[in-house]
Chains A and B, each alone.
Chain A
Amino acid sequence: MRVKLSKRVLKESLYALKSLITGDIRLLLGLVIFMAYAVLAFVVSRFIPFSPKRWGVVPRDIPPCWNYPLGTTSMGQDLFWILTLALQNSIIIGIVVASVSTFVGVVVGLLAGYKGGYLDRILTTLTDTFIAVPSLPILIMLTALFLGRIHILMLSAVLCVFNWPWPAKQARSMMLSLRERTFIETAVFSGTGTVGVILGEVMPLIAPWILANFTNTVLVAIATEAGLATIGVSSLEEATLGTMIYWALQYQAMFRGHWWWIAVPAGTIVILFFSLFLVSTAISSIFSLERSAK
């Protein structure tokens, strides 16, 4: 019964999404742009004509032209193909971090808020500890350990550790207010247990928030990685949007007038963020309108 319940919840949410996408221009635009990048990242990248880490494959430092639409780097790499790889890795980081930290955070927050008592105190202390611990020094330390050769998924795992407390706090406060609602008491008197209440009664109500939060976290994760990479605290051997900037800075691209090497990753980050931002705000406003319309 439990599994069926969450599957049905999922199906209903997806259906609601589909019918809304076509209605809101922000949502449509945001998703179109993001989907375009996703296609670049996962489909087009399959067709890279050379090994991604090889240098000197193409002539160096060529500005954007017909042969090389986004230009080339000082290491002799085609920026277009590197971009598809970087997008792939950055999006993977974004989605992995968003999925894991949203899931963990929401579960912890809802459980703490519903059960109260000792469990709440333990989980809240845990949450607050992770918020208080400064992420930057630890990340620097961790990557120093790996000497810049950290695997993408390992990096994602580390970012998860510092991202889950935020949705946890929000989920907990939402649960604290929802817990007082009469229909929860009705559910309790219908024999519904803790899991049933959390998954069956509360989740559907906060599903829009979870979606918006998820989208936001994707954004945050990509941004964090990019920021860290810029100061060398990332997986420097892999191509990500952040490491592209890192290498461009290392080779002093701006000073040497090779604006395209910075412009491509920076511009992509901005447009990607914009698309995710559109999606996230569209979701929040659509669902708040729906709720007030009832």
Chain B
Amino acid sequence: MVMNQSLLETVNLTKVFKIGGIIGGTKLTAVDNVNLRIDSENPAILSIVGESGSGKTTLSRLILRLVEPTFGRVMFENRNIFDIKRKMEVMEFMQKVQPIFQNPYESFNPLKKIDSCLYNTALKLHVAENKEEASERVKDSLSSVGLDPELVLGKKPHELSGGELQRVSIARVLIPKPKLVIADEPVSMVDASIRMSIINLFLDLKKDLETYFIYITHDLSTAYYIGDLIAIMFRGNIVEYGPAHEVLSDPLHPYTETLIESIPDISRKWSEEIKMSGFELKEFEAAGCKFWYRCPYATTRCQSNGPKMIELKNGRSVMCFRYD
């Protein structure tokens, strides 16, 4: 077996939150035994699609080392990121893995000019040796995302528009030339009219740089438009994974089917009535398949047993007994 240098690999990654009071309260498994693997051969874009409660944000925060797992590991370049303790190594990690957050106005300190963030990234992550070099890198980065440094530097966050500010975020992230960028809903808080231009920017960047993007969203259309690969998440599990075009045109998992059908598209009308879930927690705590309650193909086996991820040919996998 060829020993592949994987870029990122999560092994049985699980995160359980305790909600409710100190006495009593319940457990919520936000990320449930997720095994995701990204190989470092070609830069690509992986779209992780999920609705609220799917665990996609928690998964991204685990990969970014912002929160510790309850079980399992996250391996970046074959090294467990939660074993990294020394400051030097943490800096090294951050030079290679960078985040883009949803709300551009929250991503920057409202009282400070955006310059400080950009220069800090260049200097502290050892990208530049001195102020002059840092200035060069910052200006280059801003230009590469379509911003004029003269117009953007020296401004405070509220002086820029949402779209511009998000581009500044992207510029900052690119300064250390990272290997992995994780973008959590990067365009959902941006004006609808400029959303496409930022999405297209991601496509350009993927082509020009050797960076792998993970694009997290609830919007299936942009996920399909931009993604080479798609992972569909439901209640903490990745229920389907595969090349974007195939997953969309030939969905395997019943939830993926439901998701695609539920988009209010103008080219066709909804045919069937779907079932709605009751209290959400019950779905999380299900003994068997978490989608059992709403699934049109559910059997008794689904109610009591949890299906495992089944790998099919041409790189697709699905977590459903129908393909056993």
Enumerate chain A interface residues (CB-CB to B < 8 A). Answer: 1, 181-183, 185-193, 196, 200-201, 204-205, 294
Contact = CB atoms under 8 A, between A and B. Distances in A.
B117 A186 contact: yes
Q: Which among A187, A189, A192, A200 has the highest number of chain B CB atoms within 10 Å?
A: A189
A250 B250 CA distance: 96
11 contacts: A1-B123, A181-B106, A183-B107, A183-B109, A185-B66, A185-B101, A186-B101, A189-B99, A190-B120, A192-B120, A200-B112
A188 to B, nearest CB: 8
A168 B106 CA distance: 26
Nearest to B127: A191
B87 interface: yes
A185 B99 contact: yes
B124 A190 contact: yes
Contacts of B287: none
Given A182-B107, A204-B109, A294-B158, A190 B172 contact: yes
B29 interface: no
Given A181-B106, A182-B101, A204 B121 contact: no
A204 B111 contact: yes
A181 B107 CA distance: 8
A277 B98 CA distance: 47
Interface string B115-135: 011001101110000000000
A191 B91 contact: yes
Interface residues of B, number: 26
A190 B110 contact: no
B98 A189 contact: yes
Contact of B124 (A186, A192, A204, A294): A192
B103 interface: yes
Given A187-B109, A201-B109, 9 more contacts: A183-B109, A186-B117, A186-B172, A187-B120, A189-B99, A190-B172, A191-B94, A196-B120, A294-B110
Contacts of A294: 110, 158
B23 to A, nearest CB: 21
Nearest to A201: B109
B132 to A, nearest CB: 15
Contacts of B103: 182
A191 B125 contact: yes
A115 B106 CA distance: 22
Contacts of B108: 183, 186
A204 B121 CA distance: 20
B292 to A, nearest CB: 35
Contacts, number: 58
Contacts of B116: 200
B107 A186 contact: yes
Nearest to B103: A182
Contacts of A205: 109, 111
Contacts of B110: 183, 294
B170 to A, nearest CB: 12
Interface string B25-49: 0000000000000000000000000
Nearest to A1: B123
Contact of A191 (B66, B101, B124): B124
Nearest to B104: A182
B94 to A, nearest CB: 5
Contacts of B158: 294
B117 A187 contact: yes
Contacts of B121: 189-191
A183 B87 contact: no
Contacts of A200: 112, 116
Contacts of B111: 204-205
A238 to B, nearest CB: 42
Contacts of B64: 189
Contacts of B120: 187, 190-192, 196
Interface string B71-108: 00000000000000001000100100011010100111
Contacts of B107: 182-183, 186
A289 B91 CA distance: 38
B112 A204 contact: yes
B127 to A, nearest CB: 9
A106 B99 CA distance: 30
A252 B121 CA distance: 69
A277 B161 CA distance: 40
Contacts of A193: 87
A196 B116 CA distance: 12
A280 to B, nearest CB: 21
A183 B113 CA distance: 12
Nearest to A290: B111
B66 A190 contact: no
Contacts of A187: 109, 117, 120
A2 to B, nearest CB: 12
B99 A183 contact: no
